Amino acid sequence: MTIGKALTIAGSDSGGGAGIQADLKTFQELDVYGMSVITAVTSQNTLGVHGVYPVPIEGVISQLDAIAEDLSPDAVKTGMLFNQEIIQIVSNKVQKHGWEKIVVDPVMIAKGGHPLLEESAINALINDLIPLSFIVTPNIPEAEAITGIEIKSFDDRKEAAKKICQMGAKHVIIKGGHQPSGSEIIDLLFDGHDFYEFKGNYVNTKHTHGTGCTFSAALTAELAKGKDVIEAVKTAKEFIHLAVENALGIGGGHGPTNHWAYKRNLAASK
């Protein structure tokens, strides 16, 4: 039996709804073997971020090298990278080890407003990581920070997507969670030539902690299985939609999504 192998390079969320924890849960649910490089430990719950503790750079290097020596990931995602030094190391190692299917989720700010990336690191993200990416998955504020384009309309989003591909990304998907279009949320994919829209009903809930991480992890899992980008985005959108629709109601703030929902729904429909 061959099994897809996916690696997440991201921060730990003690609350379990976002970051490394969301990524590994998602990989598991999509039948992909999950591995992790932890860049920072965060103390968080559904109410907010209490603290951020970056892993010393030697620790990040050592985790990346240990994986490269023995396990070759079929797809790799990056999440919270926190600072310029970590971004540059990740960029070097990705190139050195010839890892190809790189999904860059340019995590910048937690739902409650706490920064998860130092502002001085945005240039490193643009110069060192985006050019290596197979796909970048910004939300609207992240796309604005990367491109300097203020996104108010769908046309602004298209312009920002073009600019991100010009920076060297093979694909970009600008997610619509921060700007619902009526009763729908539209995620916009650009492959350098064409635009594709992925639509889903907007679910009126405050339980959206980790939606971005879960979406990009599902996308990475599908790429690790060898799916093409359109198929992978379709599955990722379905996965996150069901996860939000069936949120667990855990915690007093922005609760986690339901990582079991996609597989249970699939099993029930058989």
Ligand X SMILES: Nc1ncnc2c1ncn2[C@@H]1O[C@H](COP(=O)(O)OP(=O)(O)OP(=O)(O)O)[C@@H](O)[C@H]1O
Ligand Y SMILES: Cc1ncc(CO)c(N)n1
Q: Which of 158, 149, 210 is nearest to 186 (CA)?
A: 158
SS3 (DSSP) at 254:
coil
- Residue 160 tokens, joined: 């920002």
Instruction: Please pick, among 210, 214, 227, 235, the residue that the annotation labels catalytic.
Output: 210
Question: Could you give the count of Cα atoms lying within 13 Å of 250 in the half-sphere of its Cβ?
Answer: 14
Catalytic residue among 212, 220, 237, 257: 212
Residue in 26, 137, 211, 214 annotated catalytic? 211
Return the one option of ligand Y, ligand X, none that residue 13 interacts with (CB less than 5 to 8 A, by type).
Answer: ligand Y
Nearer to ligand X, 33 or 260 (CB): 260
Provide the minimum distance between the beta carbon of 163 and ligand Y in the complex, in angstroms, as a whole number. Answer: 23
Q: Is residue 214 flagged as an active site residue?
A: no
DSSP character string of 18-67: SHHHHHHHHHHHTT-EEEEEEEEEEEEETTEEEEEEEPPHHHHHHHHHHH
Indicate the DSSP class of residue 113: S
What stretch of H or E contains 86? helix 84-96
Compose the 186-225 pattern: x for residues touching ligand Y by CB under 6 A, - for all others. ------------------------x-xx------------
Is residue 234 annotated as a catalytic residue, yes or no? no
Shortest Cβ 94–ligand Y spacing (Å): 19
> Catalytic amino acids?
175, 208, 210-213
**What is the contact surface with ligand X in residues (CB under 6 A)?**
18, 111, 139, 175-178, 185, 187, 200, 202-203, 205, 208, 210-213, 215, 237, 240-241, 244
